[in-house]
A and B are shown apart, each in its own frame.
Chain A
């Protein structure tokens, strides 16, 4: 069990203009399951390699439980890693693959194999221990790789997209299993993924990265509910958030968001400055109803089914909004519908920087990555 901390870490590869990891300070809390989430090229795997020690930092420090391990070789760091490719040793059967770290630590054969049996039991692979890696399926290899990490009982587990090569059903069950294993071991898990479902299903914390820098560090719920900027808002969520560029005005003492055909009465929302702004809204924040008597009317241009829900894209003037259609309604392309917003589900972003405009009644986010060491 350990807390791992990045202190002003920078990673630059020679010959590349942009830093793979821009100056980052970040604390992976002891015993928590933290997902590093981001698109490819965001620097998430680089951070994992830096933590493992197979890449060296360009500047900055890495601390484990307060001890500086920046210059400690991977052999001597107490971390285990599961690779996306599983990286099993091709000439050893599953048993010896799992036993390998124990052999290196000088444990006798009998004791090694006893530990392997325990771990194999936990992962449900006791029947596969005599097989060579090439005789195992992807899911089985993934388990062997996981076993090889667990058997060491390390302080920190590093997982690099370990389930992205599995089929959808197996992915779902493996997520549950990983969560269970994490709860049982209580170790610090750092899990790199580009799949937000992984982050939602397993993690206590999410580090959302883009272009080499941390965009938000928070709980999965907060990332979804209070995205720190437009990038996070559009990256997270099964269907993209709709953005509307407009202006906040005060009229007769009431705040109002206005964007041509689309407008929202913001009475009661405090802390919003008047001026240009981008409003973001997820499908569940847009309600559609009968067009009769509705203050805002639009036309359905597209419908999509994401079971169990139906989603409709509605054009209001030149603004496109995606809405979740309530269960009892049926809409088709071309229908005229009334549109209203759920005011508590609106997000406001600075029109130029794209940063979230924090409304006064919102709870603060975790943001422990801001805290300097």
Chain B
């Protein structure tokens, strides 16, 4: 008997000699290794390399490390007027996008939560702007907003509101607001969908109870629906800020940062320009670190808030 057990043991694979807990830990490690390698290669290495870039001068070729310059690249932030302008303009994108985007998204969700004929089709159509590739959106609006052949200008003229089609993508800061509006148009479906999902979790009977208790439509919204949606609203604002801080494609495709030299820059776009067009990798890395730091803080807020709402 004893020898039989011993044979089974020696015949088994290495893991079977470990206790169950140890064995499952060993499996866990085995499955984690590929992900861990990917993470180190694709995130860890660039993070460290760009940290080195922030303290290096220009290298022999773009992207190569140059001589150690200490915090000189970091110090440039303080005296860089384009950076300050980009920060202000980032806020000019983020604040309306967060406030208006969330308000419109909430409004659309409330409408789509009502019963009406064709609701399914409208709900499906809602997602189109979010599903379109950014380049398509840019091209579409370029045509739509074109001052000579664009539809919008034509409509305004036909409606008798203006004599001549205005130039939509030419003014400062009008162009930036136009980009923000397009950005809201594109991101609103995601926010509306978040609210729509949350609304599905509010039982119909709770609303009916409020009606029977005597609450008007506005008061049902104010005292029952809105408090219920509060955690979703917070999450939606954070997500919208995250997305908008990283707004790049519309600027790149529609204005290239202009009109003028920097009027539609945000920090993210400035980072791109500095790094890849001026090949100033040291300063570009500093800017990248600033944007990334901001995004990480927001992401933490979001996930911690989530964890709290799940626990409670």
Could you list which residues of chain A lie within 8 angstroms of chain B, going by C-beta atoms? 52-54, 73-77, 79-81, 83, 85, 87-92, 100-101, 104-105, 148, 152
CB-CB nearest in chain A for B220: A75
Residues of A within 8 A of B202 (CB): 90
Residues of B within 8 A of A89 (CB): 206, 209-210, 223-224, 227
Given contacts A87-B203, A89-B224, contact A104 B215 (CB under 8 A): yes
CB distance from A156 to the nearest CB of B (A): 11
Residues of A within 8 A of B215 (CB): 75, 100, 104
Residues of chain B in range 218-233 having any CB-CB distance to chain A below 8 Å: 219, 223-224, 227-228, 230
CB distance from A157 to the nearest CB of B (A): 11
Contact A52 B212, beta carbon cutoff 8 Å = yes
Task: Decide yes or no whether B211 CB sits under 8 A from chain A.
Answer: yes
**Which of A85, A90, A148 has a CB less than 8 Å from the CB of B213?**
A148
Contact A80 B212, beta carbon cutoff 8 Å = yes
CB-CB nearest in chain A for B217: A75
What class of interface size applies to chain B in its complex with A? 10 to 19
A80 to B211, CA, bound (A): 10
Q: What are the nearest 6 A-B pairs in CB distance?
A: A91-B227, A87-B209, A87-B205, A101-B213, A74-B211, A104-B214
Residues of B within 8 A of A74 (CB): 208, 211-212
CB-CB nearest in chain A for B216: A75
CB distance from A189 to the nearest CB of B (A): 15
A90 to B211, CA, bound (A): 16
A182 to B212, CA, bound (A): 20
Residues of B within 8 A of A53 (CB): 211-212
Most buried by A among B203, B212, B223, B228: B212
CB distance from B235 to the nearest CB of A (A): 16
CB distance from A99 to the nearest CB of B (A): 10
Contact A54 B208, beta carbon cutoff 8 Å = yes
Could you list which residues of chain B lie within 8 angstroms of chain A, going by C-beta atoms? 202-203, 205-206, 208-216, 219, 223-224, 227-228, 230
CB distance from A123 to the nearest CB of B (A): 17
Residues of B within 8 A of A85 (CB): 203, 205
CB-CB nearest in chain B for A103: B223
Residues of B within 8 A of A100 (CB): 210, 213, 215, 223
CB distance from A345 to the nearest CB of B (A): 43
CB-CB nearest in chain A for B209: A87
Residues of B within 8 A of A87 (CB): 203, 205-206, 208-209
CB-CB nearest in chain B for A85: B205
Residues of B within 8 A of A92 (CB): 223, 227
Residues of B within 8 A of A79 (CB): 212
16 contacts between A and B (CB under 8 A): A53-B211, A73-B211, A74-B211, A75-B214, A77-B212, A89-B210, A89-B224, A90-B202, A90-B206, A92-B223, A92-B227, A101-B213, A101-B214, A104-B214, A105-B214, A148-B213
A171 to B276, CA, bound (A): 73
CB distance from A115 to the nearest CB of B (A): 14
Add 19 more A-B contacts to A75-B211, A87-B203 (CB < 8 A): A52-B208, A52-B212, A53-B211, A53-B212, A76-B214, A80-B212, A81-B208, A81-B209, A87-B206, A87-B208, A91-B224, A91-B227, A91-B228, A91-B230, A100-B210, A100-B213, A104-B219, A148-B209, A152-B213
CB distance from A130 to the nearest CB of B (A): 15
CB distance from B227 to the nearest CB of A (A): 4
Residues of B within 8 A of A105 (CB): 214
CB-CB nearest in chain A for B214: A104
Most buried by A among B208, B211, B213, B219: B213
A54 to B212, CA, bound (A): 8
Residues of A within 8 A of B224 (CB): 89, 91
A53 to B208, CA, bound (A): 10
CB distance from A75 to the nearest CB of B (A): 5
CB-CB nearest in chain A for B206: A87
CB distance from B215 to the nearest CB of A (A): 6
CB distance from A25 to the nearest CB of B (A): 24
CB-CB nearest in chain B for A73: B211
Residues of A within 8 A of B216 (CB): 75
Contact A81 B203, beta carbon cutoff 8 Å = no
A90 to B230, CA, bound (A): 12
Contact A83 B205, beta carbon cutoff 8 Å = yes
Residues of A within 8 A of B219 (CB): 104
CB-CB nearest in chain B for A55: B208
CB distance from A47 to the nearest CB of B (A): 15
Residues of B within 8 A of A83 (CB): 205, 208-209
CB-CB nearest in chain B for A105: B214
A92 to B209, CA, bound (A): 14
CB-CB nearest in chain A for B231: A91
A152 to B213, CA, bound (A): 8
Residues of B within 8 A of A101 (CB): 213-214
Contact A81 B228, beta carbon cutoff 8 Å = no
CB distance from B234 to the nearest CB of A (A): 14
